[in-house]
Structures are given as structure tokens and as C-alpha cells.
Amino acid sequence: MINQSEDVKAKLDIVDLIREYIPVRAAGVNFQALCPFHREKTPSFVISPDKQIWHCFGCGKGGDIFSFVMEMEKLSFGEALRLLAPKAGVTLEYQDQEKTSERNRLLDVMEAASRFYQGALEKSAGAQQYLLRRGLSPEIIKGWQLGYSPDSWDDLLLYLKNKKYSDQEIFASGLSIKKEGISRYYNRFRDRIMFPINDINGNVVAFTARLNPAKEKIDKMGKYINSPQTNLYDKSRILFGLDKAKNAIKEQDAIIIVEGQMDAISSHQHGFKNTVASSGTALSEEQLKLIKRYTNNIYLAFDSDQAGQLAADRGINEALKLEINVKVITIPNGKDPDDCLRTNPEEWREAINKALPFMEYYFEKIIVDLDLKKVENKREVARKMLTIISRLGNKIEADHWLKVVAERLDVQENVLRETLEKSLMKEREVVKRNYSEEKTVLTAKQSREEKMSELLLALALKFPEFLPYIIDNAETKLIVGEINREFYNNLIIYYNEVKAIAYDSLRDFFLSEQREDQAFLLGKLELLGERDFYQFDQGQAKSEIITTLLALQKYYLKTRSKELEKLIASAEKAGNNQELQELLKELKFINDQLHDFN
């Protein structure tokens, strides 16, 4: 596992990897970004292409490519390795099943189930005919790994158990249901067309199961049923088809979002490969953040019924918060995308080209059939539009729409502005309070002297030629913060043995001592040095070291003086004259040094 992970790290560039998730920009020899793990206005997230590490000086998180992906995707190390290996072109060797993570085992279960369903589809003429009648080609059916679950209570269970998966693993993957009162399991999906749902990396994590059309009038389970939420599947974090559409989305800098899975598959078959499906649910903030990795332009296509419009509105509201550009596709004659594509693909293309920017679409929707001469209608339209305008991230666009609404409603623009400002003031107070509280939490973790100690250590690593000088002039007691003192002690030990400082060998030294916390701090200090001192020459570095040492010495003396005053009071109270005299002597020495500083 270690050799494989090092192989992956050697073949992937950390800057390119992180750029897939967030925008980064060059900053000297390093790169900077707004941290994706906490809210901030100025970038404190630093990436070193030389060391292949990252660190956020706001929230304190950091590490290598694996720790970044683990944090972003909420994965274990093994899962992150499994995700990154294909990107690096590394084939992972077989791992003992007892040592693989639970999530990896469930992924294996789902992959095996998908193969089972695909095999069953090849044997079911009825299921194949249904898909072909829907206009899907044999190639698209195979490419999307569509399948069929036979009308059986236990065939899948027996198949998976024969592959050494347990009842509990099959149940945890959402493929079986446990009968109440007894420890007996049976297939969740029976006699249904199976649509595998993949995560962003192409792993099967769930299924949508479409009822056999021949049984639509007699089955009571519903036309479509889905996998339950599992450790693999959270529907608020998955978009159907995104794993297949992401490259086209990047190339075209736009994503088309439809409701149904057949709509998405049919779109790909007809060349609209930047299409995904929301699977009939409102877009969530997590899904939109996922989309934002690939594009900032969304085309929404929902059915014209009331539920579809409500879903569109909720998804749009989330998109506006993230400053995503949204256009709404009006489907001709109440059709769905699949209908358009099967009858006239050009009609669908034209609908996309005529998609309205959301604000135009929304305004026209809410004023339809309303008499805008009536005060109550004006009030209702203004309320709805001001709510949306308040969410616009672009002030120019917001100003434009205030003018449009004022003109269309025949009201004074300043009245709308005053109403909007009142509501915004309330929101600002909430945001300001939350931001202040978060900033306090982030910055209260370290004292000024702890930060200065880190700066001194960062200077020692950045300019190792001055390390002997630092060792001669800084006793361990001057370094503030337990982990900083431990690091300094270990650094001295390492330097005395090796007589040199190199990041990779020093990191290996910490890891060989099983000091992952020290290895983590090493990465942070390296980036801190490169961020703050990368333009320093030797003269500037030495000056900074001396200034920092003097500040730490003065802090130590003041702190020790206060400690001695308390100890002297205790010795006097206890009548311990010998201890009292020693403490007074030390206090005089400390105060003399402080006097010299002053």
C-alpha cells in the first residue's frame, strides 16, 4: 500500500489536482487559493509545487494530495488511493479483503450487482425491447451499463453470497431488504429495468429501478424505486451522469440539467454530452458546488407542471447564492427532453439556444395572468422579485432589475431600493455576526508568541545556514507551544546527526518516529517560510531571526517574572526562607535582563 501510494504521489501534480476542485493562482514560487474548508475573503490556502504539499493558514488544515482529496470527498485513505490511482495510471494490487475498508467492500458489492443486472438484461428479450423502443441504441445501453433485475426473491443474493459477500454487506449496500421478525433477506429490486447511479469517479453507488412496463397496471410498488441512502449513496451529493458528462461540461463551459434519467441518456445519444439528470429532485447546495468545479453556467430543463417549476425555483435559489449563471430552457409544447430528441433533435437544440436568463424567465412567470394595475398584485410581484434580486451576487445585474421591476410595476425605483436595503441590512447583520464568530474561533487558537515561534522555525527551515546561530541563542524554553517545542528539539537532534536540513529526509525522520503531527507541522512551516520569506536574502533573513529571537526572549522573561512573583508569595506564606532567597535572586536576574531590554 505504501509503495502504491508513493507511486501515485510521484505521478500526480498537486497543483493540477487541487485546480480540479478550486481556482488557484500563482504567488511567487507557490500557488494560493481561497480555502475550500472554511469561509474566508482573502486567500490563506498555500500550495507548494516543489514540496507537493498544501496548507491553510486560516483553518490549519494541510497535507498532501491524499489528505486534500480525503478532506474534500470525505473519504478514508484507502478510498482516496482508489480514487487517485486511475488518474495517475497506477493499477492497484489486490488487497486482502479483511483489510479493505467497509466502503471499498460496498463499492465492490455494487459493481458485482451491476454486472449481474447487465447479464440478466442480455437474457431478457422483453426488457431489451423496452429500451430499444425508447430509442436507445445497443451501444448506449452497454455504455451506460443498463440492466434488468429478474422477477426473483433471491437470485442476486445467492450470486453475491457466492462471491463471498455477507448478508450484512449486501443489505448495507441497499440491494436487499430484511424481513421483519426473522433474519431473512430478499432482493430489493425485482422485475425492473436497472439504471446504475455512479459517483463522480464512475463507481456504482446506487440504482434507479423502472417497473417492467408489462406490469404497470398491477404493481403497487411504484413506477420507479431508488436505492435507499447508504454509506455510498447520498442523493443530495450525486447527479446522474456527471461522471460521463464532466469532460464535455468543461469543454463547452456549460451544463444542461434535466429531470429524468432517460432524458439524460437520450441527450448523450443525440450528442448533448454535457447533460446530467437531477432525478426529479431539487438541486442541492452540494450538487451545485460539484457542478461549479466544471462550469459556472447552468441550463435548467424541467417539466412545465407545478412540481417541476417548484424544483426549478429551489435549485435556482441555491445557484444564485453561489453566483452561478442560470438559464432556463422552456420545453416546447409541454414535452420532455426525451420526447423532443426522439421526434426532432433540432427542436431540442433550438430550445437550448433560446433559453432565457433566469431573471427574465422568473419575472415573466410570476406576472403571467396578473393585472399589474392592482396594488395587491404589484405588492406580491415586488416581494417575489426583491427576494430574488437580494440574492444576486452581481450589483450591476441587481441594479438593472430594480429599474426593470420599477418600470413594469409603475412604482418609484427609490421605494424598491429602500425596501430591498431594509431586508439586506438584516441579512448583513446575521452574516457579519456569523463571520465574526468564525474568525474568532479560527484566530483564537494561537497566541502571538506561538505564531512568532512558528515564524522562527520556518526561518530555520528556509535558511538552514542560520540554524547553528538559532540553536546557540534560543533555548527550548523560549519556543512557545508544546508542539513547537517538540519540533525544535527534534530539529536540533536531527541537525546534530545529519548536519543538514532537507524536507523529504526530515519528513521521513518524523514518520519513522511515528510522529505524524510533527510531519504535518513540517509541511506547514515549509509553506509558511515560502509564503512569508521567499523574497528574503540572507541579510533580511538574519535580521528577521534576530528580531524574532529578541521578542521571544522578552516574552519569556516577562512570563517568568510573573511566575516568580507568585512563587515568592507562596514561599513567604509557607515560611520557606531558603527557597525564598533563591527565588528572589532569580527574580532580580530576570528583572535586570528586562531592564536591559527596555
| Burial bucket for residue 516 (CB in 10 Å: 0-12, 13-18, 19+) | exposed
347, 365, 383: which is the final residue of a domain? 365
Decide if 311 contacts 281 (C-beta within 8 A). yes
Is residue 338 in a domain?
A: yes
Backbone angles phi, psi at 23, to 5 degrees: -70, 135
Q: What is the CATH number of the domain that holds 350?
A: 3.40.1360.10
Instruction: Indicate if 493 and 535 belong to the same structural domain.
Output: yes
425, 443, 461: which is the final residue of a domain? 443
Q: Of 115, 143, 119, 5, give the one whose Cα is nearest residue 69.
A: 5
> Residue-wise pLDDT tens for the chain (598 aa)?
446 788 888 788 899 899 888 889 888 888 999 999 988 888 999 999 888 899 998 888 999 999 999 988 878 888 888 889 888 888 876 554 444 567 888 999 999 999 999 999 999 999 999 999 999 999 999 999 999 999 999 999 999 999 999 999 999 999 999 876 667 899 999 999 999 999 888 899 999 999 988 777 655 567 889 999 888 898 888 999 999 998 899 889 999 999 889 999 999 999 999 999 987 677 888 888 888 878 889 999 866 555 446 555 667 777 877 778 899 898 877 678 888 898 889 999 999 999 998 888 888 888 888 888 898 888 888 888 888 888 776 778 888 889 988 888 888 888 888 888 776 676 556 545 554 544 444 444 568 888 889 999 999 999 989 988 998 888 888 899 888 989 998 888 888 888 778 787 888 788 777 788 888 898 889 888 888 887 888 889 899 999 998 888 888 888 888 888 888 888 888 888 888 888 888 888 888 877 776 6
Is residue 97 in a domain?
A: no
Instruction: Indicate if 124 and 70 belong to the same structural domain.
Output: no
Q: What is the CATH number of the domain that holds 82?
A: 3.90.580.10
Residue 384 vs residues 238, 362, 367, 420, 430: alpha-carbon distances, Å: 30, 9, 10, 11, 21
Is residue 62 in a domain?
A: yes
Q: Dmax over Cα atoms in the chain, in whole Å?
A: 103
In this structure, what C-alpha cell is assigned to residue 309? 417549476
Residue 285 vs residues 265, 413, 578, 584: alpha-carbon distances, Å: 24, 32, 69, 64
Instruction: Give dist(CA 111, CA 586) in Å, integer.
Output: 72
Domain total for the chain? 5
In this structure, what C-alpha cell is assigned to residue 68? 486534500
Backbone angles phi, psi at 132, to 5 degrees: -65, -40
Instruction: Indicate if 353 and 417 belong to the same structural domain.
Output: no
Decide if 381 contacts 405 (C-beta within 8 A). yes
Q: What is the CATH number of the domain that holds 532?
A: 1.10.860
Instruction: Indicate if 331 and 407 belong to the same structural domain.
Output: no
Would you state the pLDDT for residue 508?
A: 79
Would you state the pLDDT for residue 587?
A: 84
Would you state the pLDDT for residue 154?
A: 92
The CA radius of gyration of the chain, in Å to the nearest whole number, is 32
| Burial bucket for residue 407 (CB in 10 Å: 0-12, 13-18, 19+) | exposed
Instruction: Indicate if 433 and 455 belong to the same structural domain.
Output: no
**HEC-encoded secondary structure of 221-246:** CCCEEECCCCCCCCHHHCCECHHHHH
Domain region containing 169: 103-233
Q: Of 263, 363, 239, 267, give the one whose Cα is nearest residue 313.
A: 363
Instruction: Indicate if 359 and 380 belong to the same structural domain.
Output: no
Instruction: Give dist(CA 233, CA 212) in Å, integer.
Output: 24
Would you state the pLDDT for residue 152?
A: 93
- Find the length of the chain: 598
Is residue 93 in a domain?
A: no
Residue 297 vs residues 237, 285, 320, 358, 471: alpha-carbon distances, Å: 19, 15, 11, 11, 56
Instruction: Indicate if 122 and 223 belong to the same structural domain.
Output: yes
Is residue 95 in a domain?
A: no
Q: How far apart are the first and last CA of the chain?
A: 57
Is residue 200 in a domain?
A: yes
Name residue, grid cell 467497509.
102
Would you state the pLDDT for residue 313?
A: 66
Instruction: Give dist(CA 94, CA 425) in Å, integer.
Output: 58
Instruction: Indicate if 246 and 268 belong to the same structural domain.
Output: yes
Decide if 336 contacts 304 (C-beta within 8 A). no
Residue 337 vs residues 283, 285, 343, 559: alpha-carbon distances, Å: 18, 24, 10, 72
Instruction: Give dist(CA 445, CA 491) in Å, integer.
Output: 24
In one-letter notation, the amino acid at residue 71 is E
In this structure, what C-alpha cell is assigned to residue 572? 513567604
Instruction: Indicate if 61 and 153 belong to the same structural domain.
Output: no
Instruction: Indicate if 248 and 347 belong to the same structural domain.
Output: yes
Instruction: Give dist(CA 148, CA 174) in Å, integer.
Output: 16
365, 382, 411: which is the final residue of a domain? 365
Is residue 376 in a domain?
A: yes
Instruction: Give dist(CA 207, CA 210) in Å, integer.
Output: 10
In this structure, what C-alpha cell is assigned to residue 174? 441497499
Instruction: Indicate if 165 and 281 belong to the same structural domain.
Output: no
